[in-house]
Amino acid sequence: MALHITDECINCDVCEPQCPNQAIYMGEHIYEIDPSKCTECVGHFDEPQCVVVCPVECIEIHPEKHETHDELMARYRLLTGSADPA
């Protein structure tokens, strides 16, 4: 499941540098998350780091992007070129 930033985003800039996959970027009005790069930090951390640091709790599971842990791990491996998680 890729994460999604809602309209409540205040553009505080704390989430973008926390993303190990560089999936977060500044969109037209608020930060956005590229679902093809988001692994919800699977393979990197125990929980999504953007969610941990978000002061307004505006990052949630994308309603249209449901993926299993195995799918997220496969994306992690593809993005990092890794056979095993770090």
User: What is the residue extent of each domain of the chain?
Assistant: 3-80
pLDDT at site 4: 94
Per-residue pLDDT at 75 = 93
Q: Could you tell me which of 38, 31, 46, 80 has the C-alpha nearest to residue 62?
A: 38
Domain 3-80: which CATH number of 1.10.287.3610, 3.40.50.1370, 3.30.70.20, 3.40.50.300:
3.30.70.20
- How much of the chain, in percent, has pLDDT values that exceed 70? 94
Which pTM value belongs to this model? Answer: 0.87
13: left (phi over 0), alpha (psi -120 to 50) or beta: left
Q: What is the pLDDT of residue 63?
A: 82
What was the pLDDT predicted at 1?
64
Q: Which residues of the chain have pLDDT under 70?
A: 1, 83-86
